[in-house]
C-alpha cells in the first residue's frame, strides 16, 4: 500500500522535472513548515514548478511549506525530496502563477542578478557608526567594526572566523557567513533589508 501511494508522487515529481527547466540561483528567503515555525533559507535552484533550498530544518515528505523568496515572493507547496543540507518542494500554483514565475526567473537571469557577487547586487556603504554588537554561533557577544554594508550583507573586521555557513546576528539582523576576509569575514543577510532602516538595524 505504501509503495502504491508513493508512485503517484514520484511520477508527479518526474513530470515536474520534465515540464520545467530548473535554473541555478542564489536567493535568500525564509520558510514556514506545518508547525508554523519560520527558518531562514537559501534557494539554490528553481523553476516555475519547484525549487531546492539549503535549510536548517527539513520537513517531511508531503509536508506543506510556505516560502518567501527574495525577488520572487510567496510560494506555497509541499516537500518532494529531502537531502542532507535541505529539501526540495513543488508549488501549488495556477498556470497563470507559473507563467508569472517563469517571467520572473527570466527577468532575474536577464538582469544578471543570479550570477553576480553579493556586493554587486546592492550598492555598498560605510555606516555613520561602524561599531556594533555581533553574536557568534556559540552565543559569544562581541564588539566589531563594520567595514562596509549593503541591503543584503556586510563585511566586519574581527579576529574571529566563524565557519562558512554559520548563522550570526549583527545588530538586529540575522546573517550567514559566506566568506573569510583578511581582516574579518563577510555576511549575507537572511533577509533583504529596507534602505530606510538598515543603519538602525545594524545596531542592537
pLDDT in tens, 102-151: 877 776 666 554 444 444 445 788 889 999 999 998 888 999 999 999 88
| Residue 139 · residue 128 · CB < 8 Å | no
CA 202 to chain CA centroid, Å, is 19
- Owner of C-alpha cell 581582516: 183
Q: What are the b/e assignments for 53-78, b being 16+ CB within 10 Å? A: bbbeebbeeebebbbbbbbbeebebb
Please state the pTM of the whole predicted model: 0.48
59-107 per-position pLDDT tens digit: 899 999 999 888 788 899 999 999 988 999 998 778 888 888 887 777 6
C-beta of residue 89 within 8 angstroms of C-beta of residue 50: yes
pLDDT of residue 66: 93
Amino acid at each position: 500500500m505504501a509503495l502504491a501511494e508513493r508512485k503517484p508522487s514520484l511520477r508527479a515529481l518526474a513530470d515536474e522535472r520534465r515540464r520545467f527547466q530548473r535554473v541555478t540561483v542564489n536567493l535568500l528567503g525564509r520558510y514556514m513548515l506545518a508547525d508554523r515555525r519560520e527558518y531562514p533559507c537559501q534557494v539554490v535552484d528553481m523553476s516555475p514548478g519547484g525549487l531546492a533550498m539549503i535549510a536548517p530544518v527539513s520537513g517531511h515528505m508531503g509536508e506543506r511549506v510556505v516560502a518567501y523568496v527574495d525577488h520572487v515572493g510567496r510560494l506555497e507547496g509541499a516537500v518532494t525530496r529531502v537531502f542532507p543540507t535541505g529539501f526540495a518542494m513543488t508549488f501549488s500554483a495556477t498556470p497563470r502563477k507559473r507563467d508569472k514565475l517563469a517571467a520572473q526567473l527570466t527577468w532575474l537571469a536577464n538582469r544578471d542578478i543570479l550570477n553576480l557577487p553579493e556586493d554587486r547586487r546592492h550598492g555598498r556603504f560605510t555606516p555613520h557608526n561602524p561599531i556594533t554588537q555581533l553574536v557568534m554561533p556559540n552565543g559569544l557577544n562581541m564588539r566589531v567594526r563594520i567595514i562596509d554594508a549593503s541591503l543584503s550583507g556586510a563585511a566586519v573586521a574581527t579576529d574571529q572566523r566563524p565557519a562558512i555557513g554559520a548563522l550570526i546576528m549583527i545588530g538586529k539582523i540575522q546573517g550567514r557567513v559566506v566568506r573569510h576576509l583578511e581582516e574579518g569575514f563577510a555576511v549575507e543577510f537572511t533577509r533583504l533589508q529596507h534602505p530606510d532602516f538598515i543603519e538602525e538595524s545594524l545596531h542592537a
